[in-house]
Chains A and B, each alone.
Chain A
């Protein structure tokens, strides 16, 4: 399938990618995380943001792309705020029901493709 119109071209994107993708796991003390619906999960994320960054911090769009049954989720964050959001997730310590909980960041990548596999899997 040789396409005659295609010219050989090379594109280099900007140094800064628009998003940062993140794989996080959530653990809640004495509760099965697998029961959480995506909406509940997102609510906890927004609570974490609100606590550390306030209402203005919680206004950034954080996308919950995928939620697995073991509480591992794929998130998409805008790059410019990724540091703040990352910090907010790390600092979160208790759910609104006063249960102890923690977000753990497992993997980050500027491309969604990078989260398909984890090459540090081999123990």
Chain B
């Protein structure tokens, strides 16, 4: 039997409207937004080619990270449509494609290094001493977690979503 070869597109959702409360979006509304964008950009053909394999695998509201799965053959259709998404469930958004990986694990690896890179930026952006200490602590904790994680991965495959949550919740 032949394996279904997939690609996972890792996207970051940016909210251009500065609002106090975090807009609530869920997997379903993101899926419909992606579907509509494909229909608009690639028509019936594009949607028909992609619909079988298209799904939103992961959504983190806190960090605004999305993973979209699609068949490898039709990656271009989705990747080119995603950039045209302007609205998800009546919220104005911008989609930034960060990475395209062959598995969720590869995306997760990238995401960790991506956040690692971004934490120092967060640190320099802090205004009060208190905030700084908080961020510093979370950096240290995150690095510890990571070390544990890497040592663990050698033995057993990690539960990807929980590992991600580990990292995210500390931010």
Contact = CB atoms under 8 A, between A and B. Distances in A.
Interface of A: 49-57, 84, 87-88, 91
Contacts of A91: 44
Interface stretch (B35-43, B59-67, B124-132): B35-43
Given A57-B42, A84-B45, 15 more contacts: A50-B43, A52-B43, A52-B44, A53-B42, A53-B43, A53-B46, A54-B39, A54-B40, A54-B41, A54-B43, A55-B40, A55-B41, A57-B46, A87-B45, A91-B44
B80 interface: yes
Among A54, A56, A57, A87: residue with most chain B CB under 10 A = A54
Contacts of A55: 40-41, 43
B45 A57 contact: yes
5 contacts: A51-B44, A52-B44, A54-B46, A55-B40, A56-B46
Size class of the contact patch on chain B: 10 to 19
Contacts, number: 35
Interface of A is mostly: helix
A54 B46 CA distance: 8
Contacts of A57: 42-43, 45-46
A55 B83 CA distance: 14
Nearest to B80: A56
Q: Which 5 residue pairs are nearest across A and B when measured between Cβ atoms?
A: A54-B43, A54-B42, A53-B43, A54-B41, A52-B43
B45 A53 contact: yes
Contacts of B46: 53-54, 56-57
Contacts of A50: 43
Interface string B69-84: 0000000000010000
A48 B152 CA distance: 55
